[in-house]
Structure 1
Amino acid sequence: MDREKLIENLKSFAIALVLALIIRTFIVQSFHIPSGSMIPTLLVGDFILVDKVTYHFRNPDRGDVVVFHFPLNEDVYYIKRIVGLPGDKVQVIDGKVYINGKPCKYQPAGEYSYVENGEKVTGKLYYEFLPRKEGGVKKHLILKTGTRGDNTQVFVIPKGEYMMMGDNRNNSYDSRFWGFVKRKEIVGIARIIFFSWDGNKHLPRFNRMFKLVN
């Protein structure tokens, strides 16, 4: 009897393991945010769920927050926001994104502070409005803390590739510095923060749990 029970338990465990692997491979995957490049949208210590299904039914669009394999080291995952699609011409002028010669709309949204490496960083928030491929716009927050990356060349995005930028615009290592991301390198779209840990206070951020990623 004990042997039969052990076999049944092993079968149940094997089935659960296979289902977990299927879900992780094809449906959803969790990721941890290790850097501040997406502040204020995502904070260091956020744990997110990434939807790997949506892009089987539609193409990535401007404004999507996506996880992808870093082109210079595919073993490393990055998370950024898509600002440019295949065929787009993108340029940053005085901190504003221009897409195909047209500036995106911006609205001031107050100030924002965070602690990085023990030091307080303060900047200005803006709502950025990115035009969607199928119409409408994606309204989201960006943070400006300086001038790094505020003026660039015109980037012409090749077929099948995407331009990524962090929402913490002056503290993000992104497509402005290393180039574009191929479609096959995109893992999926970030959907929800399921847990968040404040490493400075050594406490959970309960107000961020189950928050949707905009």
Structure 2
Amino acid sequence: MKENKLLENLKSLVVALILALIIRTFIVQSFHIPSGSMIPTLLVGDFILVDKITYHFREPDRGDVVVFHFPLNEDVYYIKRIIGIPGDKIQVIDGKLYINGKPCKYQPAGNFSYWEKGRKFTGKLYYEYLPRKEGGEKKHFILKTGIQGDNTQVFVVPKNKYFMMGDNRNNSYDSRYWGFVDRSKIVGIARIIFFSWDSHKHLPRFNRIFHLVN
């Protein structure tokens, strides 16, 4: 009787492990945000769930926040916002984003401060509007804290490649510096923050739990 019970428990454990592996491989995966490159959308200490199914039914689009294998070290995961899709011409001029020669629309949205590695950063928030492939716009926050990366060359996005930028525009190591991301290296689209830890205050950020990633 004890052997049968042990065998049943082992079977249940194996099934649970297989299901967890299937879910992680094909459906959803969790990630931790270690840096401030996506502030204010994602904060250091956020834990997110990434949807790995959506891109089986549609292609990535401008405005999507995605996790991908970093092109210079594919063992490392990065998270950024898609700015350019295949065929786009991307340029930043005086801190404003141009897509295919047209400036994106911006609206001031107040001030924003945050702490990272014991240092306080303060900047200005803006709403940025990215044109979607099928029409309409994606409205999201960006943060400006300086001038780094505010003027670039024109980047022409190749076939099957994507141009990524962080929402923390002057504090993001992104496609402006290391180039494009191959379609096959995109893991999925960030959907929800399931937990968040404020290492400066040593407390959970309860107001961010179950917050959708825009």
Using structure 2 for the length normalisation, give the TM-score: 0.99
| Structure 1 counterpart of 2:210, one-letter code | F
Partner SS, residue 73 of structure 1: coil
Corresponding residue number in structure 2 for 1:114: 114
Distance 1:9 1:119 in 2: 50
Distance 1:68 1:118 in 2: 28
Distance 1:82 1:117 in 2: 26
Distance 1:74 1:192 in 2: 24
What does 1:1-214 correspond to in 2, within 5 Å? 1-214=1-214
Aligned residues: 214
Shift of 1:23: 0.3
Shift of 1:202: 1.0
Distance 2:61 2:11 in 1: 42
Distance 1:104 1:78 in 2: 24
Partner SS, residue 171 of structure 1: coil
Shift of 1:14: 0.3
Distance 2:89 2:29 in 1: 32
1:24-47 deviations in whole A, cap 9, x for unaligned? Answer: 000000000000000000000000
Partner SS, residue 16 of structure 1: helix
| Structure 2 counterpart of 1:178, one-letter code | W
Shift of 1:6: 0.4
Shift of 1:116: 1.7
Partner SS, residue 74 of structure 2: strand
1:108-131 deviations in whole A, cap 9, x for unaligned? Answer: 000000012212110000000000
Partner SS, residue 170 of structure 1: coil
Shifted more, 109-118 versus 176-185: the winner is 109-118
Partner SS, residue 126 of structure 1: strand
Identity of aligned residues (%): 83
Shifted more, 112-121 versus 162-171: the winner is 112-121
Partner SS, residue 74 of structure 1: coil
| Structure 1 counterpart of 2:174, one-letter code | D
Structure 1, gaps ≥5 residues long: none
1:73-101 deviations in whole A, cap 9, x for unaligned? Answer: 00000000000000100000011110000
| Structure 1 counterpart of 2:10, one-letter code | L
Partner SS, residue 193 of structure 1: strand
Shifted more, 197-206 versus 55-64: the winner is 197-206
Alpha-carbon RMSD across the aligned residues, in angstroms, is 0.4
Distance 1:80 1:154 in 2: 19
1:111-165 deviations in whole A, cap 9, x for unaligned? Answer: 0000122121100000000000011000000000000000000000100000000
| Structure 2 counterpart of 1:149, one-letter code | G
Partner SS, residue 17 of structure 2: helix
Shift of 1:20: 0.3
Distance 1:117 1:21 in 2: 34
